[in-house]
Amino acid sequence: MRAELASMALAQISNRYLLTQLIAKATRKLHRPNTRVQDTMNDAFKRFASSQPRAARRAAEVASSSERRAA
């Protein structure tokens, strides 16, 4: 199951090394006591998999900032 989550997250972040580092940071920040670390890692993978790709997010930011300047 985690392999599926990892491949879905790799669709958003193509660099495996960067994905590993981001998952480790997210796991440390999201982890709650008395829960399994594996569950926290799976949650982090799900969050990365469902997030917008960086390029799309950047394009949306540029579009919204140009609309603000026009108004």
pLDDT at 59 over 90: no
pTM, to two decimals: 0.66
Q: What is the pLDDT of residues 31-42, one digit of tens each?
A: 999 999 999 999
pLDDT at 27 over 90: yes
> How many other C-beta atoms lie within 10 A of the C-beta of residue 62?
10
pLDDT at 57 over 60: no
Give percent of the chain with pLDDT exceeding 70. 73
Of residues 16 and 61, more confidently modeled: 16
Tokens of 59: 């394009």
Q: Compute the distance between CA of residue 25 and CA of residue 45 in angstroms, rounded to an integer.
A: 12
